[in-house]
A and B are shown apart, each in its own frame.
Chain A
Amino acid sequence: MLEGISKFAIPVIFILILSIGLEKDVKVYDVFLEGAREGFTTVVKIIPPLIGLMVAIGVFRASGALDILVYILKPLGELIGLPREAIPMAILRPISGSASLALVSDIMQKNGPDSFVGRLVSVMMGSTETIVYTMTVYFGAVGISKTRHTLPAALMAELCSIISAVWVCTLLFGR
């Protein structure tokens, strides 16, 4: 049953969106192209940050600095059952979207996308957004300087979702 949801999700979403579009007389192909072009611009825009951050993460890993950081933070990770390869992800995810994108790609290249860690960082990447960036843009736009409990509450929510990601991945895919 659970496997069926992930398996049929894509075809069902295609069928649903296309039939509703046709029913509402949407020029589906023209609109598709318009949206795809927007996606194209988005991807082109993230290539420079990806280059910068992949280089930084690459150097950090190749030099052995990553091993030192992971060694220091290992006890914290063990507390919530987080494998050591995924620890840097828990730190970077709230700070930068493109940095965590680069990190997920790096982790999947080293461990394989279908390994436990590969799946886990995929879920971590998909289930929360970049807290710091969102706060900067939205609060900055209206000139709010006292953000009260926003950051701590968002970080705690992220922690909950990491714990749930570890748990769900173990349950669905095994360790």
Chain B
Amino acid sequence: MIDRVLDQPALRLQRETSWSLVAAFGAMVALLVVAPFAIYPVFLMQALCFALFACAFNLLIGYVGLISFGHALFFGWASYLTAHAAKVWTLPPALAVLVGTVTAAVLGLVAGGLAIRRQGIYFAMITLALAQMMYFFALRAKFTGGEDGIQGVPRGRLFGFFDLSHEMTMYVFVLVVVLAGFLLIYRIINSPFGEVLKAIRENEPRAISLGYKTERYKLVAFVLSATLAGLAGSMKSLVFQLASLTDVHWTMSGDVVLMTLLGGLGTIFGPVVGAFLVIAMQNYLAPFGQWVLVIQGAIFVSCVLAFRRGIVGELASRMRIRL
């Protein structure tokens, strides 16, 4: 699938970092540094968390070729665990985030172990079903707070020093974490490990014949993707000081697919752009209730029919650069 998206020479593998990536990254960082002075920081933080979530998702679909429809599982449960750790166990924020992220990693290992056994659409259905199972679990479990969720999650002091209840301090924390995650993903993609993943995506039988244990590689990629999605969820629960059922619902999984599709599957910056756009749209259209659902659906349909490369993908293709 991604072969057809990435069939332009500009997007082929390159070991060296191309100028366009550096420029885009610089622009992105500059914008994000300046933005909170002009745009509501909570919105930005929300968008950043989802940007990381979408990048994590994109790691799996763009570079391994596996589409997960259940990524809310990792996002949401990390969110719950972080919220619980911060509120009930009164852990400091860094540790609370760690708890959430590790939870996501473990869940990723288990879910991945099951889902990797099938390809393509089966993989999508399995991830969806597993996520739904955990949704029901969240619905019933005491510690998740059911319909109410876990509210009033304290942000605490980061490293005992930075008071995260100040919006700008929190913003810097979120920005640093998300950028770190973003760079980590980039590093993964452009490493020997990443090359093997791409080889597997392009021609798995060939990779197997070359001696690679492809199942293992795919599982590692899955766990990495789940972990980073969990990191995003953990941060989000601190930003909103809330963990709720929406975070584990299948619509959340659908949202991240939409963000990545709209932004551009398999591009580096696509998920970021997609996340910002979708979050902005959701916030802007909130008073219109269910029309958000309709519009998101319409975007899905249009992207698949006419706009498969997504915004960033289309841009990169036209300008013949890597993004």
Decide if A and B are genuine partners.
no
Please list the residues of chain A having a beta carbon within 8 angstroms of any beta carbon in chain B: none
Interface residues of B (CB under 8 A from A): none
